Amino acid sequence: MMTAAFGLLAALAWNGAISWAVHQYLTASEGIGLFTYAILVTILAVVMTLLIARILGKAKASVGGEKK
């Protein structure tokens, strides 16, 4: 439970940092900046989810191999 809370805190911190950076570079049109931000965050979330799933799969396989 505490790990999830720290993860949420870190996500909120990155949310502010990334939205500031996108706003700095794309101030001409706010709508495009928001969509760019949403796309970047979605891509990052998908990549991180895939990496975590791969790491957990390898960890489970190594633990399963040790039990035999």
Condensed to tens digits (0 to 9), the pLDDT of residues 41-61 reads 788 888 888 888 899 899 999
Q: What's residue 27's pLDDT?
A: 66
Q: What range defines the domain where residue 16 resides?
A: 2-67
Cβ neighbours, 10 Å, residue 51: 10
Q: What's residue 5's pLDDT?
A: 77
pLDDT score of 6 more than 70: yes
Q: Where do we find the tokens 């396989």?
A: 61
Q: What's residue 2's pLDDT?
A: 67
Q: How many domains does the chain have?
A: 1
Rounded to the nearest integer, the mean pLDDT of the chain is: 79
Q: What's residue 4's pLDDT?
A: 76
